[in-house]
Every structure is written in C-alpha cells, then in structure tokens.
Structure 1
Amino acid sequence: MSAHPPLGRPVSEPADRIPALAALRTHVHRQDWAAVAAAFAALTDEDDRAVASRVVGDQQNAEAFLNRAMAEDPGDPLVRTLLAERQIRIGWAIRTAASAQHLTAAQFQQFHGYLRRAEMLLIDVCAEHPRYALAWYLRITTSRGLVLGLGETRRRYERLAEHHPHHYAGQQQLLQQLCPKWGGTWEAAHGFAEECSRSAPPGSPNGALVAVAQMEQYLESHGKGELRGAERYLNAPENRARLMAAAEHSVFHSAARADAYVHTDAHNAFAAAHSAAVRPADAAPHFRVLGDNASEFPWGYLGIGDHTAEFARHREHALAKG
C-alpha cells in the first residue's frame, strides 16, 4: 500500500484548491457585491482575509466592478480596501519582479501611479477604521513600493501590530523591507523573522518567516553567481536547526490549523528552503502534508522554470529520498 495518495499536478492558485475562495472568485466574475461582502464577513481570521483579498485583486475584471460598488456605498471600508488591493496588483504587474536597475522610467511612473491611487483609498480607511487590519497590511506594501523608507514601513506595521500582533501577511511585507534589496540588512531581517516565530502562539504560521528570510539570503547569493556560498549558507547546521525549531513551533505543532489559508504557504516555504539546501529528508514531511497544494512563492527562487514545475520536481525527489 502506498505511503501517501497518488500525486497529481500541483495547484498553486488558492481559489483553485479552496472551495470558499473559488466561490469568492465566482462572485467577482458575476459582479455580485453582496455575495463578496458576505464572503468576507464569514472570515474571522485576518490572514484568511488577506488571502481572500489577493484573490479578488487578481481578477482582471475587478477594478471596474469595485469602482461601481464603491460608487453605491463610498463609505464601505471593504470595497475601498479591495479596490486598493486591485490597484496594487496592477501596479506590481507593471513593475514586475525585476531589479530596480532593469526597470524603465515609464514602468516606475505607472507603478507608482497605481500605488498612489491605492494609498489615497487606504489612508481614509485607516483614519476612519484604525483597527482595520486589511488596510494597514496593504499600506505596508505601498510604503515599500513607493520607497517611503524603512521608518515609515515599520511605523505602519506597528499600527497593524497594535491590534493584530501576529499578522502573517503584514510580517511578510515588513520582512521584505528589512532585506538588503529594499534597504535593510540581513541581521535585521533574520532577527525580525526569529522574533515573529518565537512570539507567535504555538501552531501559528509565523515560523515560516524564518524559512522565507533564509530563502531571501540564498536568492541574493545565488543571483550574484555565488552558488557555493548560497549552498553553504543554507546548509549551515545552525540554519537547519532554526528551520526545524520554527516548523515544530508552527506548522507541525498540534495547535496548527490545517484549514487556515496560509497553512499551505507556510509549509511551502519550509519545503522550498530544505529543497534549496538539498535536504530531501527534511523537505519530505512538508510535501506529505502539502500533497498537490503548491504556492507560487518561493518556488520561483529555485530556478527559472515554472514554479509548479519546481515544486513537482523537488517533491518527487523529496518523497523518493525521504
């Protein structure tokens, strides 16, 4: 008898693997604002709401639909925040993931234009609803994209953390700002990730930030052609120990919520870090939990191919060896 069910093609889109998010996507396509609002009202976990917001923001027809919904109820914080999410998504697609030196002036102008429009919406939402986690989380993203500086990005994160101290998506955004590519340092990035992991309640996904920070440093070294240095970094015994401890406190803890939308993202971060370090036996337990549930990030860091192909390749190797 097989140790695990037969594996199929990896699925990385949350709305393709989570029925509630598939329904939310359908509501957007049908331009049914009442159903969209009801779907968000049913979500009590702020990290689940952040994932749901990304699903709405990724839909091509969302901008016109949300503008109409906002015109009908301009004071609704949810519709304004979702419209800001869509504008951020459009802007970041124009910017692409390329390094700043490879972008044109026109790209920057359009990118910043969309982010500034999102900012105007979010500023009002945060002023009127200071506990509104979704808007504060998105303002961390816009601060980074508009290059407002580490101080401003951290200030926004602290406003979020006042009422939502373990907001995983918000912590991910600040972690990006703390990396050298956005003006930070590796000491600050790893320190923040470790603190988020330690301070979060057992079973929370926040431990995966330790894996994300390690993948970011691996990517920087790898991108500079320092392949051996990148491998040595990930394979350092102390870095493996940090990953193992973080996983035990988070995704492998008995209190972990398997139905949490970010549970998959967290397992993928750990699996990717162990895979990049060529530790299939350490990656295998994460792949067994994941099955076909992939994520786009951070598998794109492991190669130039499709992120689902990277996931599938490393999954096959890990389950064969581990």
Structure 2
Amino acid sequence: MSDPFDYLPDLAPLRPAAQAGDWPAVRAFFMGLDSAEKVSYASGLLSDIAGVEGFLERAVAELPGDPLPRTLLARRYISIGWDIRSGARAKHVSRDQFDRFHAWLRKAEQLLIEVCAEQPAYAPAWTARLITARGLELGQAEARRRYDRLSAHHPHHHRAQIQLLQQVCPKWSGSWEDAHGFARECASAAPDGSVAGALVAEAHIEHWLDLDSGADAAYMRGLPVRDDLRFAAQVSVLHRDHVPGWDTVGAHSTFAMAFSIGGHFADAAPHFAALGNRVNESPWCYLPDWRGQFTKFRKNALATL
C-alpha cells in the first residue's frame, strides 16, 4: 500500500471532495487540521490531483484575503509546472519544457509572495516557496533565507526541511558537505522521536544516487554510513518517544531503503516490521521495479528477526 490516501485514514475526506470540486468540503478538511505540518503535507497531496486548479481559482477569486486557497492553488501550479519539466536531470530537459515550467512557477510565486507578506508565519506558503526557489534557480542564499523565515516560527517543519535538503544537494548547485550537514543539523536540533532523523538517510540515498556504479554500493556498505544511519534511526522513529504521525511511513520507508541498499538487513528489519504492507513511494521510486525491490529487501530483512 503506497498511497497515503489509503494508509492514512485521516486523509479519507480530502480526495473525493477535491475530485468533486467541492471547495467548502476541501476548506473544512484543511480547517480541521491541527498543525501547519499537516496542512503542508495535505496541500502537497492535493496538488497532484488533476483538475483541482479550476475550483481553487474560483475560491481565490471569492476569498482574496484567505491564505489557504492561494497557497493550495500555488501548490497546484507548481505540480503542473514540474510535470512539464519532468524529474529528469537538467541536461535532458528541453528549452520549451523549461520555459513552460518556469511560467507556472512564476504564477505560483506571485500568489505565495502575497501570502507570505500578509501572513509571515504561514508555514505552508513558505514551504511552497522553497520549491519555487529551487525550480526558478534563485540560488542557495535565497532558499536558505526563505527557510530561515519559516523556521523562525516553525523550527522543525519537516516538509520544509525535505525541500531545503533537495536544494543543498549538488544537483541543485549545493554540495555534499552542505547536504549531510543540514540533515544532521535538523536531526540533532529536533526533539528525540522526531522524524527529522530520516533526513540523514535521505541525504545518504541522494549521495548514493550521484556515485558511479560500484562506488555507490561501496558507499552504502561502509561502516561510517551504517553507523550514521543507526544513530539517526535511534533518535528518530526507533526512539521510545516517537509518536506515529503522517510522516512516520515516509521516515521508516527511507531508513528501510537506506539500510537495504547497503546490505544492512538486520538494521532495516525494524523499519520493515513497522511498515507492514505500507510504503512511501519516495525514495523507493529511485529504484527500477521499486515494488519488486521493496518486496525482495523486506523478505531479506525480516528473515533476520
């Protein structure tokens, strides 16, 4: 089960309301959420539902002072643009794709600038602006400025941390020193039991992806990486203070993959056990036939218990 709408029962009302174009029901769902983290999480899911921009544009017109419809519409514009760009590396993206991608991101950015000016503590809009900063190639300093504005009000906002981690990787003109440093910084600053530790695993997976064949496997098998992952897991989702939430499946999925591709199946086992038949598609989608790989790795890991 890899669809959050299936493995997170709290999300059940959102998708049918969005598909029906029922703005009052969508708004009621978001207004019922008890944290900015959940609003950011759900807005990302809503942004991937085709056609929602129609009723969101009407809601923006009807509620010009409300930050929610503008932020949701901006997230949808970002998704439309990113679908045009695709997930390919820049050298494989055409000039026409880039032009259309940037046009959608600029539409989103204009909405988000207004929201952030009016509501400087509104984390979902700042989180979305980290995505537009990356896509519009505004640079490391601007992305960090946006993150700092958000974290001044929400210091451990996981959805924003995920976005900034991508920004500081070399593929977006960052460095591995910055990527690993930021991930460890988030993990060490967060309360014990936070999902922030999964950023350490995500940074190692990104680093592994960037290495040549042979060197990648050796990197993940290395004891320094294994020990880094072990520590991050112990202070994160394996800590006794961890309270399962919407990001728990994603965190366990990331640790399970990171340990598995390094051959550390005994370390992966508790994460697979916690997942059961659930899995977050990211980062497993980096692997060819990722569902088959997940099943194989899970079998190998659970055999160590």
Instruction: Point out the more displaced range, 14-23 or 201-210.
Output: 14-23
- CA positional deviation for 1:74: 1.7
Q: Which of 206, 212, 215 in structure 1 is aligned with 2:205? A: 215
2:39 is equivalent to residue 49 of structure 1:
yes
Cα shift at 1:317: 2.2
Q: How does 1:292-311 map to 2 (within 5 A)?
A: 292-301=277-286, 303-305=287-289, 307-311=290-294
**Higher relative contact order at CA 8 Å, sep ≥6: structure 1 or structure 2?**
1
Match of 2:104 in 1: 114
Q: Which runs of 5+ in 1 are unaligned?
A: 1-10
Shift of 1:21: 1.3
Separation in structure 2 between the aligned mates of residue 215 and residue 195 of structure 1, nearest angstrom: 17
Aligned residue pair count: 305
1:244 maps to 230
- Matched with 2:60 is 70
Which SS does the other structure have where 1:138 is aligned? helix
The residue type equivalent to 1:116 in the other structure is R
Cα pair 2:156 2:190 within 8 Å, conserved: yes
Query: What corresponds to 1:7 in structure 2?
Result: none
Is it true that 1:319 corresponds to 2:295 in the alignment? no
Query: What's the CA shift for 1:22?
Result: 2.2
Separation in structure 2 between the aligned mates of residue 75 and residue 310 of structure 1, nearest angstrom: 47
The match for 1:4 is: none
Alignment of 1:127-206 (within 5 A): 127-206=117-196
Partner AA of 2:295 in structure 1: A
Query: Residues of 1 paired with 2:68 and 2:13: CA distance?
Result: 18
CA distance, structure 1, for counterparts of residue 12 and residue 77 of structure 2: 21
Deviation (angstroms), 1:321: 3.7
Q: Residue 268 of structure 1: CA displacement?
A: 0.6
Cα distance, 1:45 vs. partner?
A: 2.6
Give the CA RMSD over aligned residues: 1.2
Query: 1:48–1:262: 8 Å Cα contact kept in structure 2?
Result: no
Any gaps of 5 or more consecutive residues in structure 2?
none
SS of 1:44 mapped into structure 2? coil
**For 1:52-73, what per-residue CA distance to the aligned partner results, in whole angstroms no more than 9, with x for missing partners?**
1112111112110111111211
User: How much does 1:309 deviate?
Assistant: 3.1
* Contact 2:70/2:112 (8 A) holds in 1: yes
In the alignment, is the contact (CA less than 8 A) between 1:12 and 1:308 conserved in 2?
no
Q: TM-score, normalised by structure 2?
A: 0.97
Per-residue deviation, residues 73-110 of structure 1 (Å, max 9, x unmatched): 12110000000011111111111111100011111011
Deviation at residue 198 of structure 1 after TM alignment: 0.5
Cα distance in 2 for residues equivalent to 1:42 and 1:310: 37
Q: Post-superposition shift, 1:310?
A: 2.9
- In structure 2, the partner of 1:3 is none
1:251 is aligned with what amino acid?
A: V
Alpha-carbon distance between aligned partners in 1 of 2:216 and 2:130, rounded to the nearest angstrom: 29
- What's the TM-score, normalizing by structure 1? 0.92
Tell whether 2:269 aligns with 1:279: no
Q: How far does residue 248 in structure 1 lie from its aligned partner after superposition?
A: 0.9
Question: Within 2, Cα distance between the matches of 1:309 and 1:112?
Answer: 35
Say if 2:239 is the partner of 1:253.
yes
Which amino acid in 2 is paired with 1:161?
S
Q: Distance in 2 between matches of 1:91 and 1:97?
A: 11
Contact kept, 8 Å, 2:265 with 2:304, in 1: the verdict is: yes
Give the conservation status (yes or no) of the 8 Å contact 1:287–1:319: yes
Please tell me whether the aligned partners of residues 130 and 147 of structure 2 are also in contact (alpha carbons under 8 angstroms): yes
Distance 1:235 1:46 in 2: 37
Structure 1 stretch 308-317 or stretch 108-117: which is displaced more?
308-317
For 1:313 and 1:95, the matched residues in 2 are separated by: 32
**Which residue, 230, 253, 256 being the options, matches 2:216?**
230
Instruction: Give me the whole-angstrom Cα distance separating, in 2, the residues matched to 1:145 and 1:321.
Output: 42
Q: Is the 8 A contact 1:137 1:170 kept in 2?
A: yes
Percent identity, aligned pairs only?
49
Say which SS state the counterpart of residue 66 (structure 1) adopts: helix
